[in-house]
Amino acid sequence: AQSVTQLGSHVSVSEGALVLLRCNYSSSVPPYLFWYVQYPNQGLQLLLKYTTGATLVKGINGFEAEFKKSETSFHLTKPSAHMSDAAEYFCAVSAYSGNTPLVFGKGTRLSVIA
């Protein structure tokens, strides 16, 4: 069975500050890990994904995440927050491939303060 825990249901940062959204996973098989973003009243948009290989993954809009197997973590970071980054962020895990069912965390709402 797989599960995802996102620490912090709400994170607030100042514009230009570092963004750090935490995600820990549990998986009995090598995981495939994803971060999705959801803007108000919209569907989910893929930010980045980890499948195999390089553990530091770069995504869209300046976001990146690092897969740390020893810590079972896949935290999302961005060096400098922008007002447009305000949204809900979801970490997800799947087994064997990205085509298998995604198991999502409960999400973290990011607010950016001017």
Q: Summarize as ranges the residues that interact with another protein (CB under 8 A).
A: 4, 32, 34, 36, 42-46, 49, 51-52, 90, 92, 96-107
* Minimum CB distance to another protein smaller for 19 or for 93: 93
CB of 3 to another protein, least distance (A): 11
- Closest approach, Cβ 60 to another protein, in A, equals 12
Query: Between residues 1 and 114, which has the closer beta carbon with respect to another protein?
Result: 1
Rounded to a whole number of angstroms, the minimum distance from the CB of residue 97 to another protein is: 5
Q: Which is nearer to another protein, 43 or 70 (CB)?
A: 43
CB of 86 to another protein, least distance (A): 17
Question: CA 90, 24, 49, 75: dihedral to nearest 10 degrees?
Answer: 90
Considering beta carbons, is residue 43 or 84 the nearer one to another protein?
A: 43
In terms of DSSP bridges, do strands 87-95 and 108-113 run parallel, antiparallel, or are they unpaired?
antiparallel
Cβ 25 vs Cβ 34: under 8 Å: no
Cβ atoms of 102 and 44 closer than 8 Å: no
For residue 42, the 8-state DSSP code is -
Exposed, middle or buried: residue 18 (CB in 10 Å: 0-12, 13-18, 19+)? exposed
